[in-house]
Structure 1
Amino acid sequence: MSERPSSVPASAPSLGDSLVQGWGGPDDDQALPPPEWGRPERSRKTATVWLFALLILVLAAGQALLAGRFTHEAFLAWATVFTAISLQALPFLVFGVALSAALTAFVPARFWQRAVPRRASLAVPVAGLSGAVLPGCECASVPVAGGLIRRGVAPAAALTFLLAAPAINPVVVVATVVAFPNQPEMALARFLASLAAAVVVGWLWAAFGRSDWLRPPRTHHDPDASGWRVFAESMRHDLMHAGGFLIVGALAAASVNVLVPREWVTAVADTPVVSVLAMAFLAVVLSICSEADAFVAVSFTEFSATAKLAFLVVGPMVDLKLIALQAGSFGWSFVRRFVPLTLALTLLFSFLIGGWLL
């Protein structure tokens, strides 16, 4: 028998052995080659830079070639809505991604084990009330919730925070008071209805939710890396990932916004139940940032106060761009169950709190 070449370590498996035993040895159940096998090393940072450079070139070329051709009013309205949604949400998305990366990199898991109660009946309302502390919109809440789940927080509590933070934070409350100067009860009704819906969703998810319904957010860094490296890698990945779904949601929202005639909306304003459902539908498709939606709601003068409340409660918890972000972070199996539950409870508490206070 010929000797093994000196350049190959005695412990290195052959190709045939590797396919049978796995690349890590006979005790390793992963019978696949390592991802980098047979491929030259590539820098992800370099690829990201070139991707952005290519995107900028395509946009510049498209603007030069197509400017002046798309001047139809419907297209201009679509472009305006798409740009407004994207630019309005992007700063908050970056803030949420940065906060999520900081939680992943610098806050140890044992902190959350001490800060969040173990019992779901207590953890859910604590997470809901903590949403009143963080100023941000729904785009920021998704990556933050993913970061909390990665650090060991119970999914029910993290999802409660995801719903409550964009609806009851101080910026949103103040904006609602300013938008409705003669109706201070609107801000109180919004706070109570949003908090109640978020907490009940969390309790129901804790009681009936299954682990296979929610795809756990993945960790995209070396566990032995330094804190700053983990922060940079987590932020880069989450920003590219969530940013893509934000664009998809903005495209869908802009398209529906242009295709649904305003006359159809005003025609149902005089019907109590239908008007609430119509305003909830508008909140979903318009996908307005929670810091600005109160100023849009007050402009619908034909609708009742309860219908406007539904617009303010549903929008920060269920809209097209938020659905896209949730699907990208937690999977469509999660969205199919979580979104209908959230929509039903936001409508229920809009009717209950609106009928009581407004």
Structure 2
Amino acid sequence: MATVVDSGGQGTDPARRRLTSIEVLCAVLVLAILGQSWLRAAFDVPALRTASTVFVAVCVQALPFLVLGVLLSGAIAAFVPARVLRRVLPRRQAAAVGVAGLSGVALAGCECASVPVARRLMGQGVAPAAALTFLLAAPAVNPIVLVSTAVAFPGEPGMVAARFAGSLATALVMGWLWIRWGKLEWIAERALRRLPDVEGNGRWRAFAETARADLVDAGGFLVLGALVAAAFGVLVPGEWFSALGDQIVLGVLVMAALAVVLSLCSEADAFVAASLSALPLLPRLVFLVVGPAIDAKLFALQAGTFGRAFALRFAPATFVVAVVCGVGAGLLFLGGAR
């Protein structure tokens, strides 16, 4: 068999290649199907059955919204030029922040996709305050997120209103704070360079690639969140959640920190929050407001896109504002700490 000589002079066999993660996943699923009888007998433990039920329920409920979200995100990235939004933004920055925040209602997208969109806006001359407001609003107040929240919390319309108000307030406040104290030199120069719009057949390629990448990234975080929710339901004693419910301030802080660590997709996080039914609504609302605004993956994306100087200032401020706005929205729409 012929070999290919690489630049270092070593022979490599083209037939030999590394397995991808998708192939490994498919192999594991096939083995699990073939050995399901043995697995059922080996792991016939009530706690594991409960955990698996919670895991499957969270994934099945959230997956349709996740798929719809990444499809819309890919469509926006490919077919909605950033200049369209730039044309409708007022010249006055304070008013532009308000319009950018409300535009998040119509332009759905996950938080991972909103970072490159915000970069494109800046590259086409949109004021950073407006671009950053859109970055925070688009993944948090779009219809997909609101509908998924309503499905996850049936009979609790106040949760939908509170999430919308808290998330929108977070985006607007951060935009106005940037106008007052933000400095352009905090943003890396590469983020301000003009990016070309996608044209012609490349739009469908951009749509497919964006949707695929978002689905892989967000799907992994959904699985992680479902696993954590299942583990919480089995491993964490119910008395701990009761203690958090009795100490509402501690509960809010713990759920805010958990939102940062879990880094869930905004189209799916409501189902994870709903599974933590032992907690009051207020801490779970803060979890839903903080997560799409700032989490571990968003900090990494922001640092890589806009620079570390920006991320180290913007992320902590966003966390504080999101917690305050989430609590305020909860007190207004949920009638306190219930």
On whether the aligned pair clears a TM of 0.5, the verdict is: yes
1:322 is matched with: 298
How much has 1:114 moved relative to structure 2? Answer: 3.0
Aligned residue identity for 1:138: E
Work out which structure has the larger RCO, using CA pairs closer than 8 Å and 6 or more positions apart in sequence.
Answer: 2
1:99 is matched with: 76
2:315 is matched with: 339
How much has 1:228 moved relative to structure 2? Answer: 2.7
2:90 is matched with: 117
How much has 1:330 moved relative to structure 2? Answer: 1.9
Residue-by-residue CA offset, 1:246-294 (whole Å, 9 max, x unaligned): 7998999899989997356664332110011111122222222222222
Equivalent in 176, 183, 205 of residue 149 of structure 2? 176
Query: Would you say 1:200 and 2:173 are equivalent positions?
Result: yes
Q: Within 1, Cα distance between the matches of 2:89 and 2:310?
A: 23
Length, aligned pairs only: 302
Q: Within 2, Cα distance between the matches of 1:152 and 1:204?
A: 19
2:133 is matched with: 160
Q: Within 2, Cα distance between the matches of 1:218 and 1:241?
A: 24
Aligned pair in 2 of structure 1 residues 208, 101: CA closer, same or farther (>3 Å)? farther
Aligned residue identity for 2:268: A
Query: Partner of 2:105: helix, strand, or coil?
Result: coil
**Please, which runs of 5 or more residues in structure 2 have no aligned partner?**
1-6, 8-15, 36-41, 44-50
Alignment of 1:192-341 (within 5 A): 192-215=165-188, 216-217=190-191, 227-228=199-200, 231=203, 262-263=236-237, 267-341=243-317
Aligned residue identity for 1:96: S
Aligned residue identity for 1:288: L
How much has 1:178 moved relative to structure 2? Answer: 2.4
Q: Which has the larger radius of gyration?
A: 1
How much has 1:310 moved relative to structure 2? Answer: 0.5
Aligned residue identity for 1:291: E
1:31 is matched with: none
1:188 is matched with: 161
Q: Is the 8 A contact 2:113 2:214 kept in 1?
A: no
Q: Within 1, Cα distance between the matches of 2:286 and 2:305?
A: 26
**TM-score after normalising by structure 2:** 0.68
How much has 1:140 moved relative to structure 2? Answer: 2.6
Structure holding more helix per residue: 2
The alignment-based identity, stated in percent, is: 43
Q: Within 2, Cα distance between the matches of 1:108 and 1:346?
A: 26
Aligned residue identity for 1:321: K
Q: Within 1, Cα distance between the matches of 2:101 and 2:87?
A: 17
Q: Within 2, Cα distance between the matches of 1:171 and 1:347?
A: 22
Aligned residue identity for 2:272: V
Q: Within 2, Cα distance between the matches of 1:122 and 1:314?
A: 24
Q: Within 1, Cα distance between the matches of 2:24 and 2:178?
A: 44
Q: Within 2, Cα distance between the matches of 1:218 and 1:248?
A: 30
Q: Is the 8 A contact 2:116 2:305 kept in 1?
A: yes
How much has 1:208 moved relative to structure 2? Answer: 1.2
Q: Is the 8 A contact 1:213 1:333 kept in 2?
A: yes
How much has 1:95 moved relative to structure 2? Answer: 4.9
Q: Within 2, Cα distance between the matches of 1:55 and 1:176?
A: 31
